[in-house]
């Protein structure tokens, strides 16, 4: 039995509210969570598409009206422009979107006085669409739907691939699953999914990509801990850290997963190795997510709410055989999944986060036993958070040896073409991996 049909104007109101929150510097994830349950799925789909086209929408609005209307009205107007500017990818007929956007304006106190203005702008856009789109094609921010500093930085750091990266960023991310190696393997899980007409393909050693995203409760085996949601690039972490790592005689491996929430990599480590794992996160609420993740999968770790950069507050003095540091970063590699990130970040954030990453590396390296291994990773495409960070660390720590590792994995939608040569085949986020051995 299906629920009542939610009018499009209500979904547009909710989507515009999320967009307005992002413009105030709030996370879209938190803003979407505050949307009423019956509106949330539709509003999220609309605002994600709007965020992926916000550069174009802002440029069009400036052509239609040099002075921006009040924030709520501007969010609604730009949301409508972002959704209807490209007829080939519009979720609804353009005239329907315009009609419902005006209805949304009329039915909300903060936008009611601007309803006629919104109507005039959108009707003019429909009349002059071709000329207005052509006029904004000269604006890189409109063309690529990323801040100008982001485009410029990628062009400098990735002169051969910056366009492919930006195209991938504007695509929808797939739903990628990780098979729990303690319970099954990719081939039998694929066979069981195909038996119920759920299309999927294998990716990497433990992953599979669904042809169409599904609610996790609809995926057979998820609630029983057979599967987890994890991007293919993130699935490389646990195997990279564990492959060839010697097991100490007479005891289990001691592994630290620093900055571990929500627990996907912690769980993968435990699925692949019999080890004593300590999982840290500075946020106690996010630590609860680690616990929940492990409980669903039937796994156990020592979960601590603590700052990894201050070991004196939590470390028991016993050296670790391996450390996974998935450091805080700009999240510039996962904008397919979080399209608000590009509009929330500032270029100055890169230097500030790089300083945090360096502080964490310096604090954790003494906790690693000689002969041990540290895997440094970020979900970033910027070199200051990846290659430059690793090279600087090795230059200042003579007992650190940089081993072969993937380095910068650039975001791509391989199944859709425009593949970046140094990536895995398939569809995955942007990531950086550096593997450091301690002499």
CATH 3.40.50.150 domain locations along the chain = 234-438
List the one residue out of 304, 300, 267, 264 whose CA is nearest residue 282.
304
Q: Give the model confidence (pLDDT) of 394-417 as tens digits.
A: 999 999 999 999 999 999 755 443
User: pLDDT class for 427, splitting at 50, 70, 90?
Assistant: confident
The structure's pTM equals 0.93
CATH 3.30.70.1170 domain locations along the chain = 176-229
Q: Which residues are catalytic?
A: 379
Q: What kind and span of H or E run contains 42?
A: helix 40-52
Q: Give the model confidence (pLDDT) of 38-86 as tens digits.
A: 999 999 999 999 999 999 999 999 999 989 999 999 999 999 999 999 9
CA 411 to chain centre: 10
* Topology at the third CATH level for domain 176-229: Alpha-Beta Plaits (3.30.70)
Q: Is the pLDDT of residue 22 over 70?
A: yes
User: pLDDT class for 419, splitting at 50, 70, 90?
Assistant: very low
Lowest-pLDDT choice from 1-10, 43-52, 304-313: 1-10
- Computed over every residue of the chain, the mean pLDDT equals 94
User: pLDDT class for 420, splitting at 50, 70, 90?
Assistant: very low
CATH 1.10.940.10 domain locations along the chain = 8-142
Residues 230, 216: Cα–Cα separation, whole Å:
12
Domain 234-438 has CATH 3.40.50.150: yes
C-alpha distances (whole Å) from 146 to each of 136, 342, 419 are 14, 6, 20
List the one residue out of 344, 420, 409, 400 whose CA is nearest residue 380.
409
Tell me the CATH number for domain 8-142: 1.10.940.10
Residues 347, 330: Cα–Cα separation, whole Å:
9
User: pLDDT class for 364, splitting at 50, 70, 90?
Assistant: very high
Residue 135 confidence (pLDDT) = 97
User: What torsion do the CA atoms of 194, 197, 203, 205 make, to the nearest 10 degrees?
Assistant: -30
List the one residue out of 360, 368, 352, 358 whose CA is nearest residue 396.
358
């Amino acid at each position: 039995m299906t629920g009542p049909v939610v009018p499009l104007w209500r979904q547009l109101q909710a989507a515009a509210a999320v967009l307005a929150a992002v413009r105030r510097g709030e996370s879209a994830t938190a803003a979407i969570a505050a949307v009423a349950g019956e509106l949330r799925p539709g509003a999220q789909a609309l605002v994600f598409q709007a965020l992926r086209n916000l550069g174009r929408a802002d440029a069009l609005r400036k052509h239609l009206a040099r002075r921006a209307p009040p924030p709520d009205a501007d969010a609604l107007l730009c949301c409508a422009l972002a959704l209807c500017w490209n007829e080939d990818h519009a979720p609804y007929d353009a005239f329907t979107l315009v009609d419902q956007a005006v209805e949304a304006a009329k039915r909300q106190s903060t936008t009611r006085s601007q309803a006629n203005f919104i109507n005039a702008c959108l009707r003019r856009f429909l009349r002059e669409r071709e000329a207005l789109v052509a006029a904004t094609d000269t604006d890189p921010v409109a063309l690529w739907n990323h801040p100008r500093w982001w485009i410029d930085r990628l062009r400098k750091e990735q002169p051969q691939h910056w366009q492919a990266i930006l195209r991938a960023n504007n695509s929808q991310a797939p739903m990628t699953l990780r098979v729990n190696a303690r319970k099954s393997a990719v081939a039998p899980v694929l066979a069981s999914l195909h038996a119920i007409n759920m299309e999927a393909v294998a990716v990497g050693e433990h992953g599979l990509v669904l042809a169409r995203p599904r609610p996790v409760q609809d995926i057979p085996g998820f609630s029983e801990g057979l599967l987890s949601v994890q991007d293919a690039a993130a699935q490389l972490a646990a195997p990279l850290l564990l492959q060839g790592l010697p097991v100490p005689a007479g005891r289990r491996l001691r592994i630290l997963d620093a900055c571990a929430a929500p627990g996907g990599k912690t769980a993968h480590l435990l699925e692949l190795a019999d080890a004593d794992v300590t999982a840290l996160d500075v946020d106690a609420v996010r630590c609860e997510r680690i616990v929940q993740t492990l409980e669903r999968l039937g796994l156990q770790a020592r979960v601590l709410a603590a700052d990894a950069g201050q070991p004196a507050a939590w470390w028991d003095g016993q050296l670790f055989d391996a450390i996974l540091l998935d450091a805080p970063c700009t999240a510039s590699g996962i904008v397919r999944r979080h399209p608000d990130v590009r509009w929330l970040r500032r270029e100055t954030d890169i230097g500030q986060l790089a300083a945090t990453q360096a502080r964490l590396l310096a604090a954790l390296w003494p906790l690693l036993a000689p002969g041990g291994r540290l895997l440094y990773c970020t979900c970033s495409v910027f070199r200051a958070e990846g290659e430059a960070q690793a090279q600087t660390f090795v230059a200042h720590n003579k007992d650190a040896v940089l081993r072969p590792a993937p380095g910068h994995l650039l975001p791509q939608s391989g199944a859709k073409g425009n593949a970046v040569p140094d990536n895995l085949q398939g569809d995955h986020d942007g990531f950086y991996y550096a593997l450091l051995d301690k002499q």
